[in-house]
Structure 1
Amino acid sequence: MLYGIAAATSALLLAAFLAALFRLPALRLGIVDRRRQRPLPLLGGAGVALTTCLVVAAWEWAGVAPLGSEIRRLLIAAGAVALLGLVADVRRVKARFLLGGTAVAAACVVPYGETGFLFGVPAIGWIVVVSLGFKALDHADALAGTVGVVTAFGVGVCAAAEMMDELAVLLSVLAAALTGFLMHNWPPARIGLGSCGSLFIGFVLASSAVMTRAGHPPAASAGVLYALTALVTADVLLVVVSRRLAGRPLLRGGPDHLAHRLRRLGLTPPGAAVLLGVLAFSGVLVGVLVHMGWVSRSSAYWVGVGALIVVLASLRIKVYGPRRQPSFPRRGPVGTSTRLASTQVRG
């Protein structure tokens, strides 16, 4: 108990310090998100990943809490995913490389001995979807961090219930690191997660949830895993369906996420982050209660129904502007192009 509190406190302070420290180098090196109204430095996620790994490794080195082989493998794979995301922050990387690298890392952490190969493959796909879903959530200030904190606490409670103390401590350290980061990421954000931090968070949370549910009935596990990440998966589903209906490329960014649509309804950036955090907490709470056996497994399926209703309602909010029609030069009577000249009145 005392170890967990000390580790979480250390992670919170170190993450807050690194977020402030990395801001200026990110601006000078040009590691920024230029899609926003102002360039936002993106090394905050590197601080979260570095803090999580350092704090957990330091306590193991001190002999206070030795890590098992599964936790070491998880940290190594998550570090590799974070490094891949950092490369994507520094220079442009195609989405298929991010997807493929995350899938390879996920294949290294799935406990096949308990899930079996038949259910291990869907687990890999789910880890990839959640990891990329957290990357997509990083389009708004404080959103990915808030949802990450809520999800980390929920998965940590499930891990503690399974007597997986090392995993529970890892998740508490991650939640504390994200809390320290949010001190600098709350709107208006002074630093962002970037692909490095968002992929790291999603990968650790999804992999930890799979490890926690390993050995349980597959149908019940699917419901719990979905409930724990209902907001992330609902946002992914909304974006995919919206872009398909509009005939837009799936990998092209756009103002079509849940937070964007809430802003269209008049919510402020902090208000959207808080509301989506509350929705994420609702799904996480149901997932934890089902995992503990305190409510029936059908409750997790109702979370899916609620998420589907949110997606369908959000589709009615228009976010795309009219398409631009291609312009062609007009032809004169003799087949030559004519130009439209603007008339100027000179005094």
Structure 2
Amino acid sequence: MLYGIAAATAALLLAALLAALLRVPARRAGLVDRRRQRPVPVVGGIAVVVVTCLVSWAGEWTRVAPLGEGVGELLVAGAGVAVLGLVVDVWRLRARVLVAGTAVAAACVVPYDETGIWGGILAVGWIVFASLAFKGLDHADGLAGTVGVVTAFGVGVCAAAEVMDGLAVLLSVFAAALTGFLMHNWHPARVGLGAGGALFTGFLLSSSAVFTRAGYALGPTAGVLFCLGAVAAADFLLVLLARGTARRPLLRRGPDHLAHRLRRLGLTPQGGVVLLGAGSFSSVLVGVLVHTGWTGRGAVLWVAGGVLLAVLVLVRVPVQPPQTARRDVSTQVRGQLRVRNG
């Protein structure tokens, strides 16, 4: 107990310090996110990953807080996914490479002895989906970090209920590191999470949730996993529906995510994050209560209904088209005018 508090405190302070120290070198190296009005260094994820790994392995090395069977491999695989995301931040990679790399890492950590072959394949698919969905959440200041902290606490409670003490400590350290990062990421952000940090967040949380539900029936497990990742799933489904109906490329960036549409409704950037954070807390709480048996499985249907309602309402909110799309339209208009004048 005392080690968990000390480890979480150290992780929070170290992540906040490291994120601040990496800002200037990242700006000079051009490691920035240019989607926003001003370049934001995307080194917050590096700080979160490094601190989480160092503090967790310190507990494993000293045997004060052993990670437990399979948890060390999970952390190594998550670090590998983070490195892949960092490559995405620095250079352009095809989406298929990102998906394949995440799938290989997921396939290496799924406990097939407890899930079975087909259950393991479904678990790999869920981990890949959740990792990419969390990458999509990194579209607004503070959003991915806030949802990640809430989800980490929820999955940590599930792990503690299964007497997976090492996994619970790892998730508390990770939540603390994310909180330290959030000190620099709240609007207006001075540091961004980046693809590496976002993929690491989604991978670590979804893999840990699979660990806690291994051995349970497939149907209830799917419901609990959905509740734990409801906000990320809602954002992914919203973008998929909006871009599919508009016949726009799914993987091209655009201001049509959850937080973007909430801002169009009049919410401030901070207000949108708080609202989505509250939604994440509600859905994660349902997932924890269902996992621990404090409430029936039917509660999952309320979460699913809320996600569906939110997606159907927000998809009707008009969004400002991306800059690239506006430039393409203006170019076409100028070309048509030249033809007419010629």
Give the TM-score taking structure 2 as reference length.
0.95
Preserved CA contact (<8 Å) 2:48 2:197: yes
Residue type matched to 1:257 in 2? H
Partner of residue 246, structure 1: 246
Inter-partner Cα distance in structure 2 for 1:245 and 1:33: 28
Partner of residue 198, structure 2: 198
Partner of residue 56, structure 1: 56
Compute the displacement of 1:18 (Å).
Answer: 0.6
User: Counterparts in 2 of 1:9-28, with a 5 A limit?
Assistant: 9-28=9-28
Inter-partner Cα distance in structure 1 for 2:341 and 2:229: 58
Deviation string for 1:8-56 (max 9, x for gaps)?
Answer: 0110011001110111111000000011100000011000000000000
- Larger helix percent: 2
Confirm whether residue 228 of structure 1 aligns to residue 228 of structure 2: yes
Residue type matched to 1:113 in 2? D
Compute the displacement of 1:59 (Å).
Answer: 1.6
SS in 1 for 2:66: coil
Residue type matched to 2:163 in 1? M
Compute the displacement of 1:62 (Å).
Answer: 1.8
Compute the displacement of 1:338 (Å).
Answer: 4.5
Larger displacement relative to structure 2 (87-96 or 303-312): 87-96
SS in 2 for 1:305: helix
Residue type matched to 1:66 in 2? P
Partner of residue 173, structure 2: 173
Partner of residue 149, structure 2: 149
Partner of residue 279, structure 2: 279
Compute the displacement of 1:305 (Å).
Answer: 1.1
Preserved CA contact (<8 Å) 2:26 2:41: yes
Partner of residue 160, structure 1: 160
Compute the displacement of 1:142 (Å).
Answer: 0.3
Compute the displacement of 1:181 (Å).
Answer: 0.5
Deviation string for 1:69-128 (max 9, x for gaps)?
Answer: 401110110010000011111111121111110011000111100000111111111111
The verdict on how the C-alpha distance between 1:331 and 1:77 changes in structure 2, with shifts beyond 3 A counting, is: closer
SS in 1 for 2:92: coil
* Structure 2 residues not aligned, in runs of 5+: none
Preserved CA contact (<8 Å) 2:49 2:200: yes
Inter-partner Cα distance in structure 2 for 1:195 and 1:113: 31
Inter-partner Cα distance in structure 1 for 2:337 and 2:217: 67
Partner of residue 102, structure 1: 102
Partner of residue 38, structure 2: 38
Compute the displacement of 1:63 (Å).
Answer: 2.3
Compute the displacement of 1:329 (Å).
Answer: 5.3
Larger displacement relative to structure 2 (63-72 or 209-218): 63-72
Compute the displacement of 1:68 (Å).
Answer: 2.5
Confirm whether residue 319 of structure 1 aligns to residue 319 of structure 2: yes
Deviation string for 1:235-264 (max 9, x for gaps)?
Answer: 100000000011101111111101000000
Partner of residue 186, structure 1: 186
Compute the displacement of 1:320 (Å).
Answer: 4.6
Inter-partner Cα distance in structure 2 for 1:285 and 1:39: 36
* Structure 1 residues not aligned, in runs of 5+: 340-347
RMSD of the TM alignment (CA)?
A: 1.5
Query: Percent identity over the alignment?
Result: 64
Inter-partner Cα distance in structure 1 for 2:81 and 2:337: 53
Preserved CA contact (<8 Å) 2:82 2:197: yes
The verdict on how the C-alpha distance between 1:330 and 1:311 changes in structure 2, with shifts beyond 3 A counting, is: closer
Inter-partner Cα distance in structure 2 for 1:331 and 1:126: 51
Larger displacement relative to structure 2 (313-322 or 39-48): 313-322
Larger displacement relative to structure 2 (32-41 or 320-329): 320-329
Partner of residue 293, structure 1: 293
The verdict on how the C-alpha distance between 1:295 and 1:329 changes in structure 2, with shifts beyond 3 A counting, is: closer
Confirm whether residue 112 of structure 1 aligns to residue 112 of structure 2: yes
Compute the displacement of 1:302 (Å).
Answer: 1.7
Inter-partner Cα distance in structure 2 for 1:49 and 1:331: 53
Preserved CA contact (<8 Å) 2:67 2:170: no
SS in 2 for 1:188: coil
Residue type matched to 2:159 in 1? A
Number of residue pairs matched by the alignment: 335
Partner of residue 342, structure 1: none
User: Counterparts in 2 of 1:85-100, with a 5 A limit?
Assistant: 85-100=85-100
Inter-partner Cα distance in structure 1 for 2:25 and 2:135: 22
Residue type matched to 1:291 in 2? H
Inter-partner Cα distance in structure 2 for 1:35 and 1:63: 44
Residue type matched to 2:179 in 1? T
Inter-partner Cα distance in structure 1 for 2:69 and 2:168: 15
Residue type matched to 2:190 in 1? R
Compute the displacement of 1:140 (Å).
Answer: 0.6
Compute the displacement of 1:331 (Å).
Answer: 8.4
Residue type matched to 1:16 in 2? A
